[in-house]
Amino acid sequence: MAGSELFPLSEEHESIRQAARNFAQKEIAPLAAEFDESGEFPIKTIMKMGELGFMGIEVPEEYGGAGMDTLAYVLALEEICKVDAAHGTIMSVNNSLFCNGIMKFGSEAQKQKYVLPVASGKAVGAYSLTEPMSGSDAGTMRSRAIRQGDDYILNGRKSWVTSGPVADYLVLFTMTDPEKKHRGITAFLRNSDKSGFVRGKKEPKLGIRASATSEILFEDYHCPIEDRLGEEGEGFKIAMAVLDAGRIGIAAQALGIAEAAYEASVAYAKEREAFGSKIGEFQGISFKIADMKTRIEASRLLVYNAALAKERGKKTGERFTQEAAMAKLFASETAMFAAHTAVQIHGGIGYSKELPVERYFRDAKITEIYEGTSEIQRLVISRTELGIR
Ligand code: COS
């Protein structure tokens, strides 16, 4: 089904969806459990996805991307995440947190130097906002950049950097003027091969295990002024605007996980017998299926709506903060609900590593946490509605 009659898909959208589905089934599905177990970063499949344009779907072709729109991005990401959310996490960071931010706020030289290799799958990008003592309250970071001639000297510790153990380049947010609080934050682009870029401890995680996550430290890292993204003090707004786009990606990821959990449940309910009937014939199971399906279709509308709002914003300059927050909030809670229900429907075998259902359950949880917790999404939505800042 093309999602919904409210969102009839063009031929171009159908074709990217099909391409992502085929790739995921053929190249990722056979490896997903293995990568989940080992926690190894799936560099080969990520590079192949880059060759197909999946690492920069909205990036124009001259910068190494596929030159498509946000709906195309969401459709492709949903298909990848339906098979493996860890590949989807890496894809979403490269697309929405790395390439998207530089395309929006970067100079021509920065687009050539940083977007081109990442969008074409020759390098991996990352986004680094969080610190050990600064998560949801993103404006309170302690890392520092001090201007020295034509360089900035960066010192500090960043945590929870997705793709941190392997990233070639990083969009990084740090304080240049602590007195000004969030208005004293500046964004920089950093190269992992320069001295002072130190990869810290790798996080052992519950889910999305193959999307390696680590701390990144910077110790007297010299960042030339041409690697500053935007102006001094613009970093917080850049971080928030980039996260608006990122949240649409996480919502699409959640939708993919929910669909996978749902499809596994329907198949199992049709096949498994108990008390002389297929278990799907019992209301205890069939009503669960009804609730999953309804929440998934509602999520789909919110996710595609947010993608269209972002697309409109490219022309009007309007923000899509609220649409993105609503999509992420609802889709991530739906993913958790669907995965939890899928394990319950499967019973013992759902708890076993023999089936991917327990992986969907572990992977779903992060969508309620990263790129803004569900509580932060509720804050963003309610502040807009109530006119509170
Ligand atoms: N786009 C552009 N600008 C934005 C913005 C957005 N989505 N959201 C806020 N801003 C701007 C505001 O307009 C304001 O600008 P001025 O300085 O000109 O007044 C400024 O940023 C500060 O906004 P606000 O007062 O709302 O900031 P708060 O510190 O109160 O809180 C929240 C902002 C809580 C919404 C923000 O810190 C947040 O999203 N936190 C979660 C961070 C996160 O997702 N972390 C995960 C990291 S990635 S794994």
List, for residues 6-52, the tens digit of each pLDDT value.
Answer: 678 999 999 999 999 999 999 999 999 999 999 999 999 999 999 99
151-162 and 197-202 beta bridge pairing: unpaired
Tell me how long the chain is.
389
**Which residues touch 125 (CB under 8 Å, ≥6 apart)?**
93, 94, 97, 98, 99, 114, 118, 163, 167, 168, 169, 170, 171
Give the closest residue (by CA) to ligand 1 atom 23.
389
C-beta of residue 262 within 8 angstroms of C-beta of residue 300: no
pLDDT of res. 177: 96
CA distance 233 to 182: 8
CA distance 330 to 377: 10
Positions in the chain short of pLDDT 50: 1-2
CA distance 338 to 284: 15
CA distance 387 to 389: 7
Ligand 1 atom nearest residue 162's Cα: 49
Active site members: 371
Residue 282 CA, ligand 1 centroid: distance in Å:
47
201-219 burial string, b = 16+ CB within 10 Å, else e?
eebebebbbbbbbbbbbbe
State whether residue 185 is helix, strand or coil.
Answer: strand
CA distance 330 to 255: 10
Give the closest residue (by CA) to ligand 1 atom 17.
183
Residue 331 CA, ligand 1 centroid: distance in Å:
21
pLDDT in tens, 203-223: 999 999 999 999 999 999 999
**130 is written with which tokens?**
């969080």
Task: Tell me the H-state helices in 202-282.
Answer: 235-271
Ligand 1 atom nearest residue 160's Cα: 49
Chain-centre distance of CA 10, in angstroms?
A: 24
- Return the percentage of the chain with pLDDT > 90, whole number: 96
The full DSSP string for 238-261 is HHHHHHHHHHHHHHHHHHHHHHHH
Q: Residues lining ligand 1, CB < 6 A? A: 129-130, 136, 138-139, 160, 182-183, 236-237, 240-241, 243-244, 319, 321, 370-372, 376, 379-380, 389
pLDDT of res. 138: 86
Residue with tokens 């020759």: 122
Ligand 1 atom nearest residue 139's Cα: 29
| Best residue among 211, 240, 370 to mutate for probing ligand 1, ranked by most atoms within 8 Å of CB | 240
Residue 212 CA, ligand 1 centroid: distance in Å:
26
Residue 310 CA, ligand 1 centroid: distance in Å:
17
Its pTM surpasses 0.95: yes
C-beta of residue 192 within 8 angstroms of C-beta of residue 136: no
Ligand 1 atom nearest residue 183's Cα: 17
pLDDT of res. 1: 43
Residue 132 CA, ligand 1 centroid: distance in Å:
18
The full DSSP string for 46-90 is HHHHHHTTTTSTTS-GGGTS----HHHHHHHHHHHHHH-HHHHHH
